[in-house]
Amino acid sequence: MKRYGLLSLLALIGILTACEHKELCFDHPHTADLRVIFDWRYAPDARPSSMRLYLFPKTEKEPLVYEFTDRTGGTVTVPAGHYRALCLNSNTEFILYRNAEHYESFEAYLAEGAFPRPVPRNGQSIRAVPDMLWDDRAEEVEVVASREGQMLTLYPKIVVRHYIVEIINAGNLEYISSGEIFGSLTGMSGGFMLGEDTPTDELATLPFDMTSDGKTTVKADFYTFGYPPASETPQSLVVYAVLNDGKKYSFVYDVTAKIHEAPDPMNVHIVLDGLPLPKPIDDDSGFNPNVDEWNTEEIEISM
């Protein structure tokens, strides 16, 4: 009996000792305050209404996500550990996100787009042109428990490419129906791999608005994610116009070289010479062509 009593006493001491050790662990927090700074030196004119920070643990656990309403950052409480960091503005309308569980698979992709009128399809997905997106990343971030004064500084840069299209010496622009000129760019990327900082391989056609001065010039100004780097698919600019007699015309320009050889791939200026719109034919029949009656012409361009 004495032996059993001694064993019981030892077991009780072990339990009490374990409990005391556990209480001591609670006295040492496993988190720390982290001051997050978004330094806009590479995009001084950026004014996003909100920013988002993803911290991807090196342990392959789910990422930690923090939202900031101040474009310059703020302070968050973070579990101690080693992370990879990625920040972006979270106020986009036409840019969506998927596969955000892992740094390498995190993708920004374009929402479904639409043409203002039905047009012949080319087999590529129709995506909206992106709105503004900035991001930055850090491969090594260490948060030490209870250490004061820890900071993480990120430098957001523009992700999307700025495209300007200008067609000069266009004819008969005065005969275009009000608002009935628009364009598309084929062979572009439908998304962007944020962790890898590269466009995706998904081929997409991007519709966009165009404006005419009613005399000789047509312009467009929009953003893209660029083109798939490994794809050999060419990029075509298509201009659609509906004249005031209801006739519909489309003009196709191969702009592959102009895009790939642009001096600054982040700012691509495509200048084209000529848009051979015909004069309308007076016709009192009231006949309106349908989608199958786009009159399409391929235009050769010179560099």
What's the per-residue H, E or C state across 36-65? EEECCCCCCCCCCCCEEEEEEECCCCCCEE
Query: Quick one: which H or E segment has residue 183?
Result: strand 176-189
Per-residue pLDDT of the chain (303 residues; tens, 9 = 90+): 444 444 444 444 444 444 444 444 444 469 999 999 999 999 999 999 999 999 999 987 899 999 999 999 999 999 999 999 999 999 999 999 999 999 999 999 999 999 999 999 999 999 999 999 999 999 999 999 999 999 999 999 999 999 999 999 999 999 999 999 999 999 999 999 999 999 999 999 999 999 999 999 999 999 999 999 999 999 999 999 999 999 999 999 999 999 999 999 999 999 999 999 999 876 554 445 454 589 999 998 875
pTM of the full structure: 0.86
Write down the pLDDT at residue 29: 64
Question: What's the rounded Cα separation, in Å, for the pair 139 and 82?
Answer: 10
Q: Taking phi first (over 0 means left), then psi (-120 to 50 degrees means alpha), and beta for anything else, what does residue 76 get?
A: beta
Assign 3-state DSSP to the chain and report helix, strand, coil percentages, each to 5. 10, 45, 40
Q: Where is the domain boundary, 159, 174, 195?
A: 159
CATH classification at residue 44: 2.60.40.2100
- Give the pLDDT confidence score for residue 301 in this predicted structure: 83
Which residue shows structure tokens 């200026």?
269
At residue 240, the pLDDT reads: 98
Instruction: Check whether residue 138 and residue 197 sit in a common domain.
Output: no
Domain count, the chain: 2
- Residue appearing with tokens 């968050």: 76
User: Which amino acid, 119?
Assistant: V
Asked if residue 1 belongs to a domain, the reply is no
Residue where one domain finishes, among candidates 100, 124, 159: 159
